[in-house]
Structures are given as structure tokens and as C-alpha cells.
Chains A and B, each alone.
Chain A
């Protein structure tokens, strides 16, 4: 599932961007070292293939719905981790700009969730570890299935984490998690089946590609990267640790820098949801909501609400209501006026531009 810009905070989006940019730079460098010029057009066309393949739908028996391929694991299996990763990244970039699937800032998250995880985690750590040398043996198929499912589970989990850490939406960690993981389990099973089917098809139709292609890759990796696979893995782990550290640092600094409301609110949203049945929960939530609103609109005249967190629990809602009328009216009038101004400016621009283009 594609993360959207609107659900991200700049901190989370920025950290994921840095992590993803690192992975891209690393893969680009590794590909440069491999120096296989035939791979570049193959990557490009394979990316386009994924696009075309995603548009072919089939009926999922018994459900009435239709499914299509995601294709990440096929790319990694045919191209190898770094080339596969860059191809997935390019597909996601094109999806972001042409179909507005995800967003520019959310690209960091999306490339991480759907690129870094399958290419640098589940492909080397699950598929490669468990498969045997025959492409269509049961063991290899199970390895594909496991790698695909785990990649999707981790991806879904990081969507949940990114959304909750961003704190833009009021979505609860456990609710969201309980929704996302089973959905992506189902998606993972379908995706695994498609991946297995395509790989088996390829193994039958062009065994040279499966046996020679990866074999050639293996040779290459044996020659060039075998000593470095460990290095790569540690580098990836370092990158992940660094990413997590940055994420934590960002959140901690946010806690430290913002007012106590922000801290309490974030704390509440990340930990407090564990006990949704507690009676004080609703009270807390509404209180937090008010605090948040008041903190957000500091110029509104109900600003003096010192000590709300300590004792003003019952009194506060009333003051919000009573004192709010004047300023919120100004806010609404101002907002409407802003809209009118922007629209008229835009229309003016349209009128000015028209004759010039017709000339």
C-alpha cells in the first residue's frame, strides 16, 4: 500500500528519504562496479514490464474480486538485489509522479517499504537461505512464498509505524495494525502464487534464463561480491540501525522541543492506545484534542489555558466553547476570504494567460 504525503510528518518523511537515498546510492555504486552494460536496458524494460503486468487483472476464485501482481520479488530474482532495487525504485517514482500514487516526500517511505525490504532483507535472508538449486522444487517455491509474504508483512508494518509516528491522523496503532497485517497476508499469498507461477513458467520456457542468468550472476557475485556480501549485509544493517536511530532521535527531539502538550499527546498516541477500554481514555483524548487545537491556533483568544493538563480537565471544554465564538468567526471569515482571493487570483491568471497562448 502506498504511503501518502498527507499522512506523513516532515521528520518521518525526511528520515525515510535519507535511508532510501542511502540505499539508492549504495545500489548505484554496486551496479557501477559490476559493469554489466546489458543490465541497464534489461532493468529499464523490466520496470516497464512491471507496469504493464500490474495492469493485467485476473479473477480471484470465490471472492468476486480481481488481483494483479506487485512484482517486486520477480524483479529481484531476475535482476539481483541492487539492480532489482533500483528498478523497483524507478517504478515507484513513475507511479508517484504520473498516477499520484504516494507522493514525492512519501517516496522515501514507499521505496523503503516496497524496495529495501524485499531486496535487501527477505530476498537475501529468506529466499537465498532456503531455496535449493532447482527453480521449481517445492523447497524453492516455499522459499519464494515465504520471502514474498514476509516482505509484505514487514512493508505493511512499516506503513503502520510511519503513519503512527507521523501522528497526523488519529489512527490507533493496534487498530491499524490489526487491519493492515491480515490484508497484506492475503495480498502476500496471492503475490507469492503469481511469483511462483511466473518463475516456473520462465524455468520451463527459457531454462537458460533461470539457470544461466542467476548462475552468471552468482559467478559474478562469487567473483566480485562474495567477499563483500558480508560487508554489504553489515552495511545494510548499519544503515537500518542508523535509520532507526535517526527516527528515534527525531521523535525524541520532537518530544523535547515541543510543548508538553505535544509530548503528552504523542506519548498518549503511541502507548496509551493499549488500553482503549479505560474510562479515562475518552476524557484524555478529548482533552488532548482541545489542547492540540489550542496549541495549533495560538492567536485564538482561548490561549490562556495554563495548567490544563494538571487540573483543568472538567473546566476546560466549557471555556473553549464560550471563548471560541469570536475568534473562530474571524478565522472562518478569514479562511473564506483567503479562498476567494486565491480563486480570483487564479482566475485572473487564467484570463491573462489565455490570449497569449491563442496568439
Chain B
């Protein structure tokens, strides 16, 4: 079932983030900032750029293999969310037929280049985001947000949401399963759906009241107290400076072309 599947999906990312590796040991802040820098650099390329984007694959793959994260699993996730990007990108080949160059006498149109460029950007940005979460974990990331001066209410909200995600998804799962067993249809009718949704909402609100009472008993005053576990070390400095330096130089210089010219020059 879809529901069970998505729950397993979150669990899997969580499990991955609990590993111990040099990547996991980095300060979440440095990974977050570097990933943002990465995404901004990647999308700052003009529309028809393709070759120059390739060196950027290095960053997600570095985190991936450095952090023991399975590539195949993340690629599957990338594929699941790709329809929207695909739908927008396909506009290129459909409207832009101008042949820009020929690849071994095979005509390549500008539309195909823009299509490939969008899909490559998509792969890079989504992969970087997923690797960030799989290599850091959601809770450390929320703590990083607090220390980066994001409003505490939002960070607290994220921690709460994350904590109760499993609980409520499991609750919904039980209700859907109960309905599924008792009904003769494969799909739920709207009449049933609205009652299930309403009941889930009621249970949610009751639960919130119980949680609130329990938290008040334990002295909750609106924010979580965060123990400063992650410290900004020299490794973090090297990580940020090194990668941002790489992003900037790969943005300015067309590394694949330079490489190609070198090779061609050597063979010629």
C-alpha cells in the first residue's frame, strides 16, 4: 500500500542518517550551508548549459559514498518526484527544433539540450537535498536551524511534526486498513473518506491535548532545550571553503571543455 510505503521511506532515510561516517560527523550547519551554495550555483547556469554542470556531480557523490548512502535507493526517490520537472522540461524538445550541432551525424536540437540541462539540474539538486538529509538526520538539521537563528517556533514546530509523523501516519494506516478489510471496494468512497478524515482529525486534536498536558507536567515552556552537541571544527571549515571554492571555479571555468581541449591537444 502507498501509505505503508511512504512510511517505510521516511524510516529508511532516518536509518541512513544514524550511521557514523566522516560525513555524518560534520557540523549540520556546514552541510546545510554548503548544500545551499551548491544548489544556487547549479541553478545559476544559463538555460542551455550542459557540459559545465557535469563536474557538479562530484559533490552529491562525494557525500553519498563518504556517508555510506546507497545511490540506487536515492535515484529511485529522484525518479518518483521527477514527473513535474519532466513535464516542464519536455517543452524544450517539443518547441525548440533548431539543430545546434550534430553528434556523429545525429542532429541535436537546442530543445534536447535544454531538456537535458533541466533534468541534470533536477538530478543534482534533488540528489543533494536527499543526501543532505540522509547524511545529517532531521533532528540535527532542526538544531542547526535554531543555531542559524531561524525562529525557534518554526524549528520547534518541525521537531514536533517529525515526532508525531510516525504516530499519526500509523494511526491513519490502521484506520485505512480497517476500512479496507470491511469494504468490498478497492477504493474508498468519498462518504467513508470524509468520516475517516474527520475521525483522524478528532483523534489528532485529542492527542494534542494529552501531549500538551503531559508536557506542561514536565515543565515545557514553549521551546526545546538544545544541547550543543555539534561543534564547528576545522574539518567543517575545510569542507565549506573547499567545496564552495570548487563550485565557484566550476561555475567560472568550463572544466570539461578545458579537459577535452587538453586531451584533444595531446592526441593531435
CA distance A289 to B113 in the complex (A): 10
A325-345 to B contact mask, C-beta < 8 Å, 1/0: 101111111110111011101
Say yes or no: is B225 at the interface (Cβ < 8 Å to chain A).
Answer: no
Question: CB distance B162 to A296 under 8 Å?
Answer: no
Question: CB distance A40 to B156 under 8 Å?
Answer: yes
In A78-113, the 8 Å CB interface with B consists of 86-87, 89-91, 93-94, 96-101, 103-105
**Given A99-B9, A329-B264, A333-B263, A289:B48 Cβ within 8 A:** yes
In B94-110, the 8 Å CB interface with A consists of 95-103, 110
Contacts of B197 in A (CB 8 A): 53, 56, 69, 194, 197-198, 201
Question: CB distance B188 to A59 under 8 Å?
Answer: yes
Count of residues in B whose CB is under 8 Å from the partner chain = 128
Count of residues in A whose CB is under 8 Å from the partner chain = 114
Say yes or no: is B40 at the interface (Cβ < 8 Å to chain A).
Answer: yes
**Given A48-B168, A289-B100, A349-B65, A296:B46 Cβ within 8 A:** yes
Question: CB distance A42 to B158 under 8 Å?
Answer: no
Number of A-B contacts (CB under 8 A): 388
Contacts of B215 in A (CB 8 A): 41
Say yes or no: is A52 at the interface (Cβ < 8 Å to chain B).
Answer: yes
Say yes or no: is B77 at the interface (Cβ < 8 Å to chain A).
Answer: yes
Question: CB distance A321 to B6 under 8 Å?
Answer: no
Contacts of A46 in B (CB 8 A): 204, 208
CA distance A349 to B69 in the complex (A): 12
B51 CB contact (under 8 Å) in A6, A31, A325, A331: A331
CA distance A48 to B172 in the complex (A): 11
CA distance A5 to B56 in the complex (A): 15
In B1-26, the 8 Å CB interface with A consists of 2-3, 6, 9-10, 13, 19, 21
Question: CB distance B188 to A1 under 8 Å?
Answer: no
28 A–B pairs (Cβ distance < 8 Å), ordered by A: A4-B85, A13-B43, A28-B151, A37-B220, A41-B211, A44-B157, A48-B164, A55-B172, A87-B157, A87-B161, A90-B157, A93-B158, A97-B133, A97-B138, A100-B80, A100-B126, A170-B96, A175-B91, A197-B190, A297-B257, A321-B101, A324-B101, A330-B261, A332-B51, A333-B259, A334-B261, A335-B50, A337-B256
Question: CB distance A43 to B160 under 8 Å?
Answer: yes
**Given A86-B157, A331-B260, A55:B187 Cβ within 8 A:** no
Question: CB distance A338 to B55 under 8 Å?
Answer: yes
In A143-191, the 8 Å CB interface with B consists of 163, 167-172, 175
Question: CB distance B198 to A37 under 8 Å?
Answer: no
CA distance A168 to B220 in the complex (A): 47
Say yes or no: is B92 at the interface (Cβ < 8 Å to chain A).
Answer: yes
Chain A residues touching B, majority SS: helix
Contacts of A168 in B (CB 8 A): 43, 47, 117-118, 121
Of A4, A9, A290, which is in contact with the most chain B CB atoms at under 10 Å from its CB? A4
Say yes or no: is A49 at the interface (Cβ < 8 Å to chain B).
Answer: yes
B161 CB contact (under 8 Å) in A66, A94, A169: A94
CA distance A321 to B99 in the complex (A): 8
Say yes or no: is B249 at the interface (Cβ < 8 Å to chain A).
Answer: no
